[in-house]
Structure 1
Amino acid sequence: MLLSSLILSALAALAAASPLTLQSARFTVTSEAGAQLRSEPISLRHKSMAPVTLAQTDNLKIAFQILNKETGEGVQPHQAFLRFYDAESGEEGVQPIRVGSGGKAKFEMNMAKPPASLPPTTTNPLQVSLIIGSYEHSPLKAYIFDLIVPPSQPAPVHPDEASFHLLPEIQHTFRPEQKLPPKFVSFVASFAVLAPWLVLLGLWSQVTPRLPRLASPNILPFTAALGAFEGLLVWYWVDLKLGQVLLYGACLGVVALFAGKHALATIVEGRSGKA
Structure 2
Amino acid sequence: MLLVNTLLLLAATARASLLTLHAPRVTTYDSTGAGIRTEVLKLTEKPRVPLALGPTDSLKLTFQVVEEGEGAKGVQPLQTFLRFYDPKTGEEGIQPLRVTPAGKSKFELSMSKLPPSIPPTTTSPLEVTLIIGSHKYSPLKLELFDLTLPQSHSAPEHPDESSFHPLPMIEHTFRAPNKLPPRPISALFAGLTLAPWVVLLALWSQVFTGVPYLFSPSILPFITTLGAFEALLFWYWVDLKLGQVLLYGGILSVATLFTGKTALASIGARRVGRK
TM-score (ref. length: structure 2): 0.50
Q: What TM-score, normalized to structure 1?
A: 0.50
